[in-house]
A and B are shown apart, each in its own frame.
Chain A
Amino acid sequence: MKMTAFSSRVAKEIIRDPLSLIFGLCFPVVLLLLLSAINANVPVNVFDIEKLTPGIAVFGYSFLTLFSAQLVSGDRCSAMLIRLFTAPMSAADFILGYMLPLFPMAVVQSIVCFGTAMLLGLEPSVNIVFAVLLLLPSALFFIGLGVLCGTFLSEKAVGGLCGALLTNLTAFASGAWFDLSLVGSAFRKICELLPFAHSVYIGRNALSGNFADIFPDMYYVLGYMLAAMIFAVIAFMRKMKEA
């Protein structure tokens, strides 16, 4: 009850912030259109729509970190969170309240992204549904990371770190639109220590029906997801004790 009241407020805050909708939904679509247009003229293997779409979907998720971090950080800096900390809410009420409204957002992002891809020639198949589902742990990772960042960072720092840095990191370290080994095998190795490329590999394998191949990538993603969630919960609970 308390949690649903709080999460419906969080949902309203997201929906009423037009910038977040534009960035989260339109930016990936624009990228998809742009890169496929390039692809039509200069055929590059990695720009094939089957390879590109999961990458763009994961890139879109990086905005979930920005949104969730902005929400938490904004509440912290505006004394709203202080007020809410004096209400009889548990840490779970807060954390779920912040995170739950972002799940449907992630699903809508994926649907918009894969829907656009179908208009651009991605063959409709049931694998698209599996790809969306198997990308969800990645979305959870990004959401947890956002709550973690929002608990520590000021609103300004959130804009820089989660907005500029993380979205670029996701774009470049995920191999969404170029083959990582093109930069060099060292770069590739470093990128594969991070979860971004693994998320994209999962999406690509799911899309082409190679479900056996989503491991070990899925282990990386699940590991990062759990770590992000656990650290977010610990950090938030500590913040609750000393607001």
Chain B
Amino acid sequence: MMIRISDITKSYKGVKAVDGLSLAVGDGELFSLLGVNGAGKTTTIKTMCCLCPFDSGSVEIGGFDVVKQPEKVKELIGVSPQETAVARNLSVYENLVLMGGVHGFSKEKSKNIAEEMISKFNLSKFRDMQAKKLSGGWQRRLSIAMALVSDPKVLFLDEPTLGLDVIARSELWDVIRELKGKVTIILTTHYLEEAESLSDRVGIMRDGKLLFCGKCDELVSGTGAKSFEDAFVKTVKEGKGE
């Protein structure tokens, strides 16, 4: 197992953002975390990225404990945060080179990877434009590309397609499909068709708890719903947690 979460709980001033959640994700698997706003998806991702100390339980990435060996975990992961995260005064190219640099890559290597990402994400038009001058969707694409620079073993994509146009979204899906099998991916999204078409398994969260964890067709057949979306709605409305 690449990711192993055991019974973690995280509260913010009385609000349980994550409540006794356990989850295991295999090597090369694409796992989507679904759930309504405030369900605890981002918080769960943060605990896996060494960004959020939790109250109890444990999280292991690639066999390393995120609390005891964060430096090892950080070597393995790439993160595209829910909010677009780019250095505003740096150009697209410089942003990508910076990500190589902060992972300890040589200048040469960082530059080569930056060029690779620019072509993969069709950013060549904007190569030398400052990030703050890009439109929101293009900043978003850059933000996602930056998560891939370090060639991570585990990739976290928190609502990657938020704010992307239809073309950009389908291009991003292609990029994700290309990574499938090679990279373990944790994805969150509010587009259910996206989760259905990309994921190996999905998890549905509500109030910090995992209500369902399994394959999409299992969810549909288990709830007796007509579609994935119906099954999702049913689970969230009726589910009391495992």
Contact = CB atoms under 8 A, between A and B. Distances in A.
A87 B74 CA distance: 5
B95 to A, nearest CB: 9
Contacts of B104: 1-2, 88
A189 B214 CA distance: 71
B51 A12 contact: no
A148 B104 CA distance: 26
Contact of B89 (A5, A17, A82): A17
Given A1-B104, A9-B94, A86 B79 contact: yes
Interface residues of A, number: 28
Contact of B86 (A8, A12, A80, A85): A80
Nearest to A82: B81
Given A2-B104, A87-B103, A88-B75, A13 B51 contact: no
A1 B103 CA distance: 9
A83 B146 contact: yes
B52 A243 contact: yes
Given A5-B101, A6-B101, A242-B53, A12 B74 contact: no
Contact of A16 (B89, B102, B103): B89
B84 A79 contact: yes
A86 B98 contact: no
Contact of A242 (B52, B78, B99): B52
A202 B102 CA distance: 39
A9 B98 contact: yes
A88 B74 CA distance: 5
B102 A6 contact: yes
Given A87-B99, A88-B104, A13 B87 contact: yes
Contacts of A13: 87, 89-90
Contacts of B53: 241-242
Contacts, number: 86
A241 B100 CA distance: 23
Nearest to A9: B98
A79 to B, nearest CB: 4
Given A2-B103, A5-B98, A6-B98, A82 B51 contact: yes
B150 interface: yes
A165 interface: no
Nearest to A15: B89
A241 B50 CA distance: 8
Contact of B77 (A2, A82, A86, A242): A86
Contact of A88 (B51, B88, B103): B103
Given A78-B88, A83-B146, A86-B49, A5 B81 contact: no
A30 interface: no
A89 interface: yes
A2 B101 contact: yes
B198 interface: no
Contacts of B71: 88, 90
B103 A82 contact: no
Nearest to A97: B102
B59 to A, nearest CB: 14
A84 interface: yes
Contacts of B99: 87
Nearest to A8: B101
Interface in B118-177: 130, 143, 146-147, 150
Interface in A59-84: 74, 78-80, 82-84
A83 B103 CA distance: 12
A80 B85 contact: yes
B149 to A, nearest CB: 10
A12 B87 CA distance: 10
B83 interface: yes
Given A85-B51, A86-B74, A5 B102 contact: yes
A82 B98 contact: no
Interface of B: 46, 49-53, 71, 74-75, 77-79, 81, 83-90, 94, 97-104, 106, 110, 130, 143, 146-147, 150
20 contacts: A2-B104, A5-B97, A5-B100, A8-B101, A9-B87, A9-B98, A12-B90, A13-B89, A16-B130, A17-B89, A78-B88, A79-B85, A82-B83, A82-B85, A84-B102, A86-B50, A86-B77, A88-B71, A88-B75, A88-B103
Pick the 5 closest A-B CB pairs, nearest first.
A5-B101, A79-B85, A83-B85, A88-B74, A79-B83
